[in-house]
């Protein structure tokens, strides 16, 4: 047996014993980090679009808006598909 470290004892006392609860915590933390990263990119996106060669304030704003709207649009379109996949192949 390996000796228990202080970190593992603290984690065992803080984290829930059930695996699905630990997974839920991990997924929520990951989703929060993704959201945080997405909001950090938004103010700088027009600068990146301009760096790609788009000229003019109107065109830069248009392409920035398109790029910012694609992820929510894809979530809206593909959400039902991933829901069916999860229902079919997920845990029973």
DSSP labels for 72-84? HHHHHHHHHHHHH
- The set of residues, in sequence order, having a beta carbon less than 8 Å from that of 19 and lying 6+ positions away, is none
* Listed residue (52, 77, 2) closest to 44, CA to CA: 52
Return the structure tokens found at 54: 């788009």
- Where residue 7 falls among pLDDT bands split at 50, 70, 90? confident
Whether 71 and 38 have beta carbons less than 8 Å apart is answered as yes
pTM for this model (two decimals):
0.60
pLDDT tens for 20-67 read: 888 888 899 999 998 898 888 888 999 999 999 999 999 999 999 999
């Amino acid at each position: 047996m390996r000796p228990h470290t202080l970190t593992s004892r603290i984690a065992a006392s803080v984290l829930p014993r059930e695996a699905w609860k630990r997974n839920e915590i991990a997924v929520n933390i990951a989703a929060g980090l993704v959201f945080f990263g997405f909001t950090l990119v938004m103010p700088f996106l027009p600068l990146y679009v301009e760096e790609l060669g788009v000229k003019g304030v109107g065109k830069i704003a248009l392409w920035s808006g398109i790029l910012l709207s694609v992820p929510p649009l894809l979530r809206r379109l593909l959400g039902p598909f991933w829901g069916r996949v999860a229902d079919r192949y997920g845990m029973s």
